[in-house]
Structure 1
Amino acid sequence: MTTASRAAQIPFPRPATPTACRTSPELFTHEPGDTDRARAAAARAVCSGCPLAPTCLKWALANPEQTPTGIWAGTNPLQRRILRARLANRLGSNWVHLLTAQERARQERKAAVRTQPPSVREARILQLDRTFNGPMPTRVPPLTPQQQAANRQRLLAALTDKAA
């Protein structure tokens, strides 16, 4: 796949406001053999807080010809080569197309949620969930499969009790 077709599939991230990599690009220059580990660590720290990092990483991985050096989304050239190899092993040589299709489907689902209200059943389940479990905490460890099954049973039992 050529660089032009990859770039068409995964667009270059263009933020509305300038990011640190735009305002101080010297921090993100990293040539092979560069021994300034402090600067590279500082660049990775800045990237870790950037909301565009996932998009930037996808673009950098899909465009190796344009990113042979430098810190992109907190990764150096060696890390990006390793990630590309893992993606190719896991998803095949056409991994860029697969990631693009996944992203497009995610965006379509996100847009559909905003335009289509939940069904009556979904709204009742959400209302029951809020009633019995309260609001969702912001930082929650993942539920175990047993906790998920217990929550599902409680919600379905409450739903059938209300319907009767």
Structure 2
Amino acid sequence: MNTPTVQVPFPRPETPTACRTSPALFTHEPGDTDRERTAKARKVCSVCPLAPTCLTWALANPDEVPTGIWAGTTALQRGILRARLANRLGTNWVTGLAALEQARRKRTAALRTDPLTVQQSRIVHLDREFNGPLPKRIRPLAPEQQAVNRQRLLAALTDKAA
């Protein structure tokens, strides 16, 4: 078994979570037919505040989580998510994801030490009220995915020309 990646830290809750207090609920082997237990575990994970960081860790460490319910996902679902991430962000997607998470943590820490003034908070509130939420950022495709898309387009163009 490989050692866990240090790029994505293991989620360490301050209070015990359901997966720590009743781990039997979250056991899930491939071919497991107990759908009620799986559904209950996924429901418990859906309200856990650590679910996003738990999922990130589980995706970045496939050898550590070959079975079980992690962040409401089964091993099969995590495999599909890893394939999508590799397709979207490239083969080195763990590093990119870790960098995004580290930047988010830095922004959060900065807001704790240097919060917005009352005037700045009012401006942000008014902006959201009148302009709506900010549009979601469109992340650029990884170079590998750009090359795959280019090949698909060229193949489609040569098929139509023939």
Q: TM-score, normalising length from structure 2?
A: 0.71
Q: Which one of the candidate residues 57, 66, 88 is aligned to 2:55?
A: 57
Give 1:35's aligned residue.
Answer: 33
Residue in 2 aligned with 1:161?
A: none
Partner of 1:114: 112
Alignment of structure 1 residues 115-154 onto 2, 5 Å: 115-116=113-114, 118=116, 124=119, 126-127=121-122, 143=133
Identity of aligned residues (%): 64
Task: Tell me if 1:48 matches 2:46.
Answer: yes
Structure 1, gaps ≥5 residues long: 146-164
2:150 aligns with none
Partners of 1:13 and 1:129 lie apart in 2 by 31
> Computing the radius of gyration over CA atoms, which structure comes out larger, 1 or 2?
1
Query: Which shifted more, 108-117 or 62-71?
Result: 108-117
Matched, 1:66 2:84: no
Unpaired runs of at least 5, structure 2: 136-162
Name the counterpart of 1:94. Answer: 92
Shift, 1:17, TM fit: 1.4
RMSD: 2.6
Any idea what the Cα deviations from partners look like across 1:53-88, whole Å, max 9, x if unmatched? 111100100010111111000000110000000000
- How far off its partner does 1:46 sit? 0.5
Query: Given the superposition, is the C-alpha separation of residues 3 and 93 from structure 1 closer, same or farther in structure 2, using an over 3 Å criterion?
Result: farther
CA 1:129–1:117: 2 relative to 1, 3 Å: closer
